Every structure is written in structure tokens, then in C-alpha cells.
Structure 1
Amino acid sequence: MELNFALITPELALFILGLLAFTLGLLVPNHSRRGLGSIALLGLIIVLGVTVANWSNQGVMLNGMYIVDRYAMFFKILCLTSAILVVLGSFKYVDQQVKNHFEYYSTVMFTTLGMMVMASAGDFITLYMGLELMTISFIILVAFRSSDAKSLESGMKYLLLAGTSTAVLLYGLSLVYGTTGTIMIGEVAQSIAGGVNSPLLIVGIVMLVAGLGFKISAVPFHMWSPDVYEGAPTPVTAFLAVGSKAASFAVLLRLFLGSFGAIQEHWVGLIAVLAALSMVIGNLVAIPQTNIKRMLAYSSIAQAGYILVGLVAVSEAGIKGVMFYAFLYVFATIGAFTVVAAVSNQTGSDEIEDYAGLIQRAPLAASVMLVSLLSMAGIPPLAGFVGKFYIFQTVVQEHMWLVYLGLIMSMVSVYYYLKVVLVIFRDEPKDPSPIQMGGATAITLVITLVATIFLGIYPGPLSEMANMAAQSFLLK
């Protein structure tokens, strides 16, 4: 059994970094622990650099249990980028709202490590280990503000529902193993191609859809999202909205296209229905929301529906569309939640009415919120428009009804996004005092603003990167 440690250099580096952050937090005096955020940020940037440098370093470890290809590398880069932006944008929030900085930053790193393991999982056991590392870490992060009743309530809800979804997922994996006789994702495809196709296999696939549907908050497995998003610390909500979704979609694509592609007629219709329900319910229920975190939670459900459309395509173009949109989604979502964290830090409120006159109190934050919301709505020339175009063009031939539905729901989303924009730009502020952002938060906002605009105007490099990743997936 060959072990090529060069293939897992980013994972090893992140694991060591997480342990180092935790150990330093125990050793250094309390007044010096705030510097751990800078150490964590620097470490994550180094790990991202190592991952990018290993882009062409591909191979298989442990007899296929761990796959390192450009497909996995793409999602690892995405997850590390999310972690960097979340850590950078949350310095001030964490200093004022969160105790035990070293535990917070080390847990963020272990959460990211779980996502990276999920992206490279070549068998059910590795997949489960990565999933549980990510999920348990998120449970800790969601309930991190131990003095806040909402945070503890959210942590409890997430714990119970995550445990239930994991049980369903495990049972589905066991049924797939029982019918195919293997836990290797590639060998499952070979077994199905050899003629294995029993009702129990179909039941297993349905249970996998349910288990992973919870992770991406697709309807009808979305019930946890609004409450957890509202109660969790805002930077954690941002990370949950982008990182958890990205890693779960990496697994969904790897499983369904890598293992069940030969029997797509049994599950494509189900995925199409889930995509449609997520788009419709996510957007319609977002309309009456008065809390901005709950509104963004339902918006996130709708975004999961858009991304699921790429899976329905069952093609290289669909894989590319999912990866491309998921990366664009990172910048708009983290930009919006960074603004929410900054406003909440000063006002103590997440109500949309308290964003009145934000353009006067924090012009940069107001601009970022405007661009982020319009990008999520799919307004050209922002990144979200390009992402939706890539996604929906993959299903024009076979599922045109999804394209029409996606267009209609995107127009619906413009309504509730513009409600927030009107409050920000039209209404007079109750408190005219400026909102202090902090240097790190301002840098995060600028990065997300520039990336959202730039990738909408010039998506070529990211598109080519996603295309190479999709091609490496299909070679497996």
C-alpha cells in the first residue's frame, strides 16, 4: 500500500496548523491570544499556496481510498479561500463577541480539513470520516457563544438534525455496499455496469439524497437552516453557507456521477424535483422575512436549488457549472455576511429595518451588500449572472422547464433583495453615527466586491480552471 505524502501535503499542513493554534492558545497568556487570528490567517494562506502549487500533482492513495485530482484540488482551493475570507472578516467580531479565540480558530481549521478530506474521498469510510470531522466542528462553532441562548439553541438543533441526517446517510451507504459488495466509489460504478441493479440499491440512493440534502439545505431537508443561520455567530453562518455546501456538492458529484451514472434514470428526476422545490420555496419564503440572516438562509436554500441543476445535467458541462457557480457563490455570500457581522457588532440587531441609511453610516459596507445581493439575484454583469448562465445552459436540451423556473425565481429573488437595498439607500438612519469596520473587515469587503465584479466581467481563468477539474473527474 503506497503512501505518497506529497499528495496530501495541504491536509498535513492544515492538521499541524490546527494543532499548533490550539496548543499556542493553551500556552500563551490571555492578553496575547488575540494575535492567534493573524497566525491562523497566515497559516491558511500558506496552505492555500501549497494547494495551488500542487494543482498538477495528481494520484491515488491507499488503493483508491483517497483520490487527489484536479477536481478535488478545485474544491480544496474553494474551501480554503472561504476559510481565509471568513477568518479575515471576523477579527473584530471574534474579539468582541467570541471568547476562547484559539479554540475558535483551530476549530475553523479542522472544519476546513474535514471539507478537504470529503473532496478527495474515494470510498465510503473516508467520505464519512471527512463528513463527521466537518459536521462535529460546525456543531462546536454554531454553539460557540455559550452565553447566548440563541447560539446554544442553534447548536442543539444542528446536533440533533445532523445526527439524524448522518444516520440516514450511513444507512444509505450500507445499502449500496450490501447490493454492490464494495465501498469503493469507482468499484460501485463497475458493479452497476456489470448488471447490479436491485430495489435496495435504489432505496440506498434515495437515502443518500436525503442525507446529503440536509448538508446542502435542499428542500425538504432545509428545516434547520433558518434557525441555525440566525442563532450561530455570523462568521460561522457565512462559513456554513459556503464551505459546507461546497464540500457536500463535491461528494454529491463524486457519488452520483462517479458511481450511479449508469442508472441515472432512477435518480435524475428526483434531483430535478429537489432543485425545483428548493428554488421555489427558498425564494418565496424569503420574501416575508424581516431578519436579514433568516432571509439569507432562505436565499441560500434557493442557491442550493440552482446548483443542483448542474447535477441534473449528468455531464462534464454540468460538473463544470456546479464548480464554477460554487466558487462565485463564495464571494457574494461572504461579502453579505461580513456586512451583517459588522452591523450586528455595532447595533446588536439583525433586523432589516436597522439597516436604514447604511450608505451614510458605512458606504463600503452598503456597496458590498448591494453588489452581493444583485450577484446572488443573477443581475449582469456580476458574477452570479455568469454562474447561472453556465448552470442553466447545461439543461436546456433535456430539462427546459428548469430553465424557465430558474429564470422566474431569479426575478422573484430580485424583489426581496431590492427590499433590503431600498432600506439601505433610501431610508434615514435611526442612529447616524458611523459604523466602525476595522481594517481586516474592510479588506475582506474590498476583496469580495472586486472578485464579484471581476469574475462577472472576466470569468475566463476561473472557467478554464473549472473545465480542467471537470475533465480530471471524468478520467476516473
Structure 2
Amino acid sequence: MYPILVLSITGIVTLFLGFLKSKKVLLPATLFFVTLALLSGFYDWNAPGLYFNNMLQVNNQSILFTSILLVSAFLIIGLSKGFIDDEHAQPAEYFAILQFSLVGAIMMTSYQNLIMLFVGVEILSVSMYVLTGSDKRNLRGNEAALKYFLMGSFATGIMLFGIAMLYGANFSFNIETARAVVLQGGSVYLYVGVTFLLIGLLFKVSAAPFHFWTPDVYEGAPTIFTTFMSTIVKTAGFAAIYRVLEVSFSPIYGFWWVMVVIMTVLSLVIGNITAISQSSFKRMLAFSSISHAGYMLLAIIGLSNKSVDSIIFYSLAYSLATISAFGVLMAVSKEKLVDGRPDESIAVLNGLSKRNPFLAFTLAVSMLSLAGIPLTAGFWGKFYVFSDAAFRGHIWLLVVAILMSAAGIYYYFKPIIAAYMKEGEGERINIKPFYKIILGITTFGSILLGLFPDLLRSLM
């Protein structure tokens, strides 16, 4: 609960800091506010409780999800220096919106009432709509923001219809009350509600076939906000999906698992196969994001007491690798412009090992982790979600996932080959010390969790 209060207050404070003549105070202030929210969350560690008229439940599970969100936000904001240096940027507004969006994301990890879930989704979604189109000079970004807003609005309407159906079946928005009704035998309203609620939430995590917005939005949005979208939104979305299915609808697993399995297979196949043909690094990571939604759905399919541990670990591993990858792209792409915009193709990475060995190494580790290569966090993330699916006996699904992982290795190695084996143009790339520290943290985290995965799992 405390991170919600802290971020709500500091978001307003950040807006007032925007009246200062100098913008230099905004970045360190925002990093301090996010750190303060992170530390405040552990006040409730081992002290579970209900808040806001029993609409929000805080426990160790929700605190871990919140911590991943806030750590990811800290790292992403730390990479935003180059973006806010733009004379057209409004960093106070951007940082305030990011803090408010985190409030919505945290609500999605700890809701006890479907109304609180809806409020959290809307706070997060509206913030992302605004930030996607924040660069008004970029027509591609404006188009992406409009597409995201229109499709997101339809998905929200579908989710709200599902919540209404569930209320008709349960006469309550409380997710534990819903479980009691499910155990007594559900009505048609219940099954319709579950279906529509899942569709709305799966849209938010860009699972196929609700993924059509993802490539264009990821490519059109400023890269710093694409990074935020691909990590924070996905982590919050899967926390919300797991919570509602585990608390309320695990007794009717036989009903919803078929739908989730179909979406898992579609996400794995469409995400991995389509990513192979991409020449844009951002579009490749967009389709990669779709495939990782499929991998994380394996933990949902293998729903058990261990599934939440797998989702937490996978979320952190995926977030660290994704922040590293986009961080390298932001540093390299600004060195070459195409039609006045940063070059975000894979070709811009050519010869990176000679222009900046540190960035090349960071890129290599992030790609290896996303591919699930051993000794990286991504390997254990996939191992745990595969184990969850095996627990339910879905061996054929594991075969599909492993085959698609093999396909993923092909396109994840394309940036590595470009960085180390191809000749590139341009001078040596210099990055600021703090930027290097942030990328060092994400890279070290990916390696550390790859070598010692129990460091995180011991907290669960």
C-alpha cells in the first residue's frame, strides 16, 4: 500500500518541480522518489493485510511483484537522460506520468476487488497512450499512439463487460467471493465473464491473437517508453492474470485452460517466426515480446503454488535483458539518423564491438538471456515455466515451446553477429558514466541470476 501512497504524492511533487528553470533536478529527484517507494513497500514484509475497504491485499507475493516494477522503473528512468535533453521534451510531465502509471501497475499486482483491477489497468493504460505519442514531431509515434488508444479502448471495454458478467454471477466484485460461487457451480454469466476478462488482460500483455498493436506501437513510441511498456506493463499484466485465475477460477481450470493453451501456441509461433524476418531491432524485440508472453503463459497453464515463483523470476529476468537491449539501442541509434530519426535497424549495430566493447558485451548478454542460453537468467526463467507446464502433463506444449526457443536463437544471434562479426561505420561511441552504471547493473543481474537463481527464489 505504501508505494501507492508515496508515488501518488511524489508524482504531484514532480509536476511542481517542472516550474523550476533548471531541468537537472528532475532526473535525480524522480530516481529518489522511486527508490523511496521501493523501500516503503518492504514495511509490509511478512505483515499481510487488507486496505482500502478490503479492495487491496498486500502480502509478500505482491511486494515482490511491486519491487520488480519499481526496480525496472528505476533502471529505465536512469537511461532517460538523453531523451530529456531534447529541447522539445517536457521531463516533469513525463516523469510524473511514469510515477502515476506505476500506481496503476502496483494496483494490478495486489487487487482484491475487480474494481481496483479495472482502476489499475486504466491508470496504467492511459499513461501509456499519452507517453507513446509524447513526441509530437514524430508522425509514426502519433499513429502508434492513436492505434494503441483505439485498440486499448476496445480491450478495456471487453474486460469491463467481463467484470460486469462476473458481478452478475457473483453479486460481488471480491475475487475470493467469486471463488466461493465457482465452487458451488457457476452460471453462464460466470463463464462469459471469465472469457472476456481474460481477453482484456491478455491484450495488455500482447499475447496473440491480441498482439496486432504491438509491433507498430513499440516501433513508433520513443524507445525509452517502449522499454517501460515492454517490461512494466507485461509484469503487471501477468501478475493480474495469475492472481485472478489462482484465487477465483482455479476450480474451473478445465474451462479456461483450453483458451489459454491456444493463445500460448499462437504467441509462441507468431512471435518467434515473425521476428526472424525483421530488419528493425525494435520490431524484432516487439515480436520477441509476443513470444515471451507465450512462455509466461506456460506458468499460467501449469497453475500451482510454484507458478507465481516462476512468473516472478521470469519477469525479472526478462525485464533486465530487455532494459539492456533497449539501452544499447538508444545509445547506438542516436549516432546515425534516417529521415531525421534515430536509425533503429539491426544494421546500426554493425561493428559495435570496436566502437564500444562494453555496449557490445551488454547487448550479447541481453540477447543470450532472452534466448534462454545457460548461465543467464533467461535460461532459468524458461526452465521454471517449462517445469510448470510439465507439472500439468502438457508435454506436447513443451515440444512446441522448445522448437520455438530454437527458432528464437536464430534471430537473437543476429544482433550479436552484427556487433562482433560485421564491419561498421562511425566513430567510437561514448556514453555517460551513470548510463554505463545502469547497463552494468542489468548485465550483472542477468549473469548473477543465471549463476545463482536461488538468490531470488529463496525470498519467495
Range of TM-score over shorter length: over 0.9
Q: How far 1:55 moved relative to its partner? A: 2.1
* 2:248 alignment partner in structure 1: 259
Q: How far 1:34 moved relative to its partner? A: 3.0
Structure with greater contact order relative to length (CA < 8 Å, sep ≥ 6): 1
User: Are the equivalent residues in 2 in contact too, given 1:173–1:208 (CA < 8 A)?
Assistant: yes
Distance (Å, rounded) in 2 between the aligned partners of 1:188 and 1:200:
12
Q: 1:168 to 1:97 in 2, by over 3 A?
A: farther
User: Are the equivalent residues in 2 in contact too, given 1:93–1:342 (CA < 8 A)?
Assistant: no
1:422 and 2:411 correspond = no
User: Are the equivalent residues in 1 in contact too, given 2:83–2:89 (CA < 8 A)?
Assistant: no
Distance (Å, rounded) in 2 between the aligned partners of 1:450 and 1:458:
12
* 1:212 alignment partner in structure 2: 201
1:283 and 2:272 correspond = yes
1:107 and 2:97 correspond = yes
Distance (Å, rounded) in 1 between the aligned partners of 2:251 and 2:28:
48
Distance (Å, rounded) in 2 between the aligned partners of 1:97 and 1:344:
19
* 1:333 alignment partner in structure 2: 322
Q: How far 1:421 moved relative to its partner? A: 1.1
* 1:19 alignment partner in structure 2: 12
Give the gaps of 5 or more residues in structure 2: 337-341
Q: How far 1:98 moved relative to its partner? A: 5.7
Deviations 1:143-167 (A, max 9, x none): 1111111111111111101101000
Corresponding residue SS for 2:334: helix
User: Are the equivalent residues in 2 in contact too, given 1:91–1:440 (CA < 8 A)?
Assistant: no
Corresponding residue SS for 2:212: coil
* 1:80 alignment partner in structure 2: 70
Distance (Å, rounded) in 1 between the aligned partners of 2:425 and 2:380:
37
Q: Which amino acid aligns with 2:383?
A: F
1:179 and 2:172 correspond = no
* 1:368 alignment partner in structure 2: 362
* 1:5 alignment partner in structure 2: none
Distance (Å, rounded) in 2 between the aligned partners of 1:163 and 1:393:
35
* 2:376 alignment partner in structure 1: 382
1:270 and 2:259 correspond = yes
Corresponding residue SS for 1:60: strand
Q: Which amino acid aligns with 2:190?
A: L
Corresponding residue SS for 2:335: helix
1:147-158 alignment runs, 5 A limit: 147-158=137-148
Give the gaps of 5 or more residues in structure 1: 1-7, 469-476
1:394 and 2:388 correspond = yes
What RMSD in Å do the two structures reach over aligned CA positions? 1.2
User: Are the equivalent residues in 1 in contact too, given 2:73–2:228 (CA < 8 A)?
Assistant: yes
Q: How far 1:52 moved relative to its partner? A: 3.0
Instruction: Give the TM-score, by structure 2 length.
Output: 0.96
Q: How far 1:275 moved relative to its partner? A: 1.0
Q: Which amino acid aligns with 1:163?
A: S
Distance (Å, rounded) in 2 between the aligned partners of 1:184 and 1:115:
19
Distance (Å, rounded) in 1 between the aligned partners of 2:366 and 2:52:
42
* 2:80 alignment partner in structure 1: 90
Q: How far 1:90 moved relative to its partner? A: 1.6
* 1:202 alignment partner in structure 2: 191
Deviations 1:189-221 (A, max 9, x none): 0111122x2223212211112111110000000
> Taking every aligned residue pair, what percent have the same amino acid on both sides?
35
Distance (Å, rounded) in 2 between the aligned partners of 1:19 and 1:438:
29
* 1:471 alignment partner in structure 2: none
User: Are the equivalent residues in 2 in contact too, given 1:93–1:341 (CA < 8 A)?
Assistant: no
Corresponding residue SS for 1:96: coil
* 2:20 alignment partner in structure 1: 28
Q: How far 1:315 moved relative to its partner? A: 0.4
Distance (Å, rounded) in 1 between the aligned partners of 2:335 and 2:24:
20
Question: Once structures 1 and 2 are overlaid, which stretch shifts more, 94-103 or 222-231?
Answer: 94-103
Distance (Å, rounded) in 1 between the aligned partners of 2:261 and 2:165:
23
Q: Which amino acid aligns with 1:96?
A: D
Q: Which amino acid aligns with 2:305?
A: E
Q: 1:143 to 1:411 in 2, by over 3 A?
A: same
The partner residue of 2:3 within 10, 18, 21 is 10
User: Are the equivalent residues in 2 in contact too, given 1:175–1:204 (CA < 8 A)?
Assistant: yes
Q: How far 1:439 moved relative to its partner? A: 1.9
Deviations 1:306-356 (A, max 9, x none): 000000011012222112111111100111011111112222200111211
Q: How far 1:10 moved relative to its partner? A: 1.7
Distance (Å, rounded) in 1 between the aligned partners of 2:245 and 2:87:
41
Distance (Å, rounded) in 2 between the aligned partners of 1:452 and 1:285:
26
* 1:457 alignment partner in structure 2: 451
Distance (Å, rounded) in 1 between the aligned partners of 2:365 and 2:179:
43
Q: How far 1:388 moved relative to its partner? A: 0.7
* 1:441 alignment partner in structure 2: 435
Corresponding residue SS for 1:28: coil
Distance (Å, rounded) in 1 between the aligned partners of 2:135 and 2:215:
18
The partner residue of 2:405 within 401, 410, 424 is 410
Q: How far 1:414 moved relative to its partner? A: 0.5
User: Are the equivalent residues in 1 in contact too, given 2:75–2:323 (CA < 8 A)?
Assistant: yes
User: Are the equivalent residues in 2 in contact too, given 1:22–1:102 (CA < 8 A)?
Assistant: yes
Q: How far 1:395 moved relative to its partner? A: 1.8
* Total equivalences in the alignment: 454
User: Are the equivalent residues in 2 in contact too, given 1:226–1:294 (CA < 8 A)?
Assistant: yes
* 2:339 alignment partner in structure 1: none
Question: Once structures 1 and 2 are overlaid, which stretch shifts more, 52-61 or 169-178?
Answer: 52-61
Distance (Å, rounded) in 2 between the aligned partners of 1:203 and 1:343:
48
Q: How far 1:369 moved relative to its partner? A: 0.8
Q: Which amino acid aligns with 1:400?
A: I
Q: How far 1:97 moved relative to its partner? A: 7.5
Instruction: Give the TM-score, by structure 1 length.
Output: 0.93
Q: How far 1:96 moved relative to its partner? A: 3.1
Q: How far 1:53 moved relative to its partner? A: 4.0
Question: Once structures 1 and 2 are overlaid, which stretch shifts more, 294-303 or 54-63?
Answer: 54-63
Deviations 1:435-457 (A, max 9, x none): 22212211111001100000000
User: Are the equivalent residues in 2 in contact too, given 1:34–1:95 (CA < 8 A)?
Assistant: no
Distance (Å, rounded) in 2 between the aligned partners of 1:381 and 1:289:
27
